Chains A and B, each alone.
Chain A
Amino acid sequence: MTIELRSLEQEPSSTKLALSLAFAGLISGIIIISIYEATLPTITANKARELREAVFKVLPNVSTMQKLQFDNGKLRVRTEKGADEDTIYGGYGSQGQFVGYAVEGAGPGFQDTIRVLYGYLPEQRKIVGMEILESRETPGLGDKIFKDMAFVANFDDLSVDPEIKAVKKGTKSTPYEIDSITGATISAKAVVRIINEARVRWEDRLPAPGNEPKLESKKTKDEG
């Protein structure tokens, strides 16, 4: 009541209104920048750790990884920041021998972009693991692409020739087929399509088996 009376008495000038808004905005900006700066290292570290864990999950028997980059027609160890779609991860065993690649692919799912990471052994032309990095698929249905372990296990030993195919659950008969998810056909097919697309894109970029980039000794940390 008192506030209303006061405002009837004297209308504050526009300058005062603008100033109070500007002041609030300034304080708010400073707070937001400080919290952003304060949490940024943790957030970046979390994301890098998540990716590393995913690489080790999709490639069995791997103890080190390094980022590889495709540029000028050749796959080499990534030295500076390049485009993310030209980057894959090389996994190496305990003796430093090459094991396989972890390739990231992304594409539209049922609701939003799905980001997938899969492990690939070029010599055997086989996918040996799949991990969903990001998805907003329907809880209870589409999210089975990472919650339904039977579906995820489809990708543990999967031939890529001629291409991966999703078939009705329980009818998998060839090494390149996967059992789809009942009630989440679109999400399951999206995962398959994303992997196929990524594989086709990388098919000609990967060097012949045996000519993979060597592990650079100190390159065990990859938070680039």
Chain B
Amino acid sequence: MAINIKDPSAVQEMMKGLWRDNPVFVQVLGMCPMLAVTNSAINALAMGLATLFVLVGSSALVSAFKNLIPKQVRISLYIVIIATFVTVIDYALLAVFPAIHKELGAFIPLIVANCMILGRQEAFAAKHTVGFAVMDAIGMSAGFLIALFALGSVREILGNGSLFGIDLFGAGFEPWVIMILPPGGFITLGLILLFFNWVTERKARFLQQVVAAEQARG
């Protein structure tokens, strides 16, 4: 990896995935796993880590072989690479964490179809060096993981009264079952997007005011 980690632009490539270009909150990609497996914090975390492994691995490979990949068949080759990593993580989870694999079920193989991963290969890894591609992949999947985890924790706390399976409220709490059912996913995601956009808008307005104040003074 011929890249200096202190290089500000490499760090920027990573940080943009966390907030400014967050794959879920800003690009609204990868909604299928986002809504399907976030009924508990641990499932969300496992899905986020599996996606991180797949994205970082395939970004590194795609970027390393970008000059050898013929343009006409690049999408098929990306899918082959992604699918290989997905199969590896699928078997690894089945062997090491069978309980988590049981919970995530069909959604592990479906990581192949996560458009965020294919999107990063086409939009970034195929045009940049390995170092930048890996930094970008880490940032994007970390942003994805944060989003999954936020949704998963909110849904588990409200829908089950627990976090990571640890009871939070005692017996007096009546869980909001709807939160761990599919509608709860949509409701929580909608509210989080609302919050995210509100914060972004406020920030933009604040910047505008600063600029206006500067101009008025100058």
Contacts and interface: CB of A to CB of B under 8 A. Distances in A.
Contacts of B181: 138-141
Interface of B: 39, 66, 68-73, 76-77, 80-81, 83-84, 87-88, 91-92, 94-96, 98, 105, 126, 159-160, 175, 177, 180-181
A3 interface: yes
Contacts of A183: 177
Nearest to A37: B91
B103 to A, nearest CB: 9
Closest 6 CB pairs of A and B: A39-B95, A42-B95, A28-B84, A39-B91, A140-B180, A140-B177
Nearest to B89: A35
Contact of B92 (A4, A39, A138, A141): A39
A206 B68 CA distance: 65
A20 interface: yes
Contact of A32 (B39, B77, B88, B175): B88
Contacts, number: 71
Given A24-B81, A38-B91, 16 more contacts: A3-B126, A16-B70, A17-B70, A17-B72, A24-B77, A31-B88, A32-B87, A39-B91, A39-B92, A39-B95, A42-B95, A42-B96, A46-B98, A50-B98, A139-B180, A141-B177
Interface in A1-44: 3-4, 7, 12, 16-17, 20-21, 24-25, 27-28, 31-32, 35-36, 38-39, 42-43
Identify which of A27, A140, A141, A183 gathers the most chain B CB atoms within 10 Å of its CB. Answer: A140
Nearest to B65: A24
Nearest to A47: B98
A24 B80 contact: yes
Chain A contact surface mostly: helix
Interface in A22-74: 24-25, 27-28, 31-32, 35-36, 38-39, 42-43, 46, 50
Contact size range, A:
20 to 34
A221 interface: no
22 contacts: A3-B66, A3-B126, A7-B71, A7-B72, A12-B70, A12-B72, A17-B70, A24-B81, A25-B80, A28-B84, A32-B88, A35-B87, A35-B92, A36-B91, A42-B95, A43-B98, A46-B98, A50-B98, A136-B105, A140-B160, A140-B177, A140-B181
A20 B80 contact: no
B95 A3 contact: no
A17 B71 CA distance: 9
A114 to B, nearest CB: 13
Given A24-B77, A139-B180, A140-B159, A35 B91 contact: yes
A4 to B, nearest CB: 8
Interface string A129-151: 00000001011110000000000
A39 B94 contact: yes
Contacts of A4: 71
Contacts of A136: 105
A14 to B, nearest CB: 9
Given A28-B83, A35-B87, A20 B70 contact: yes
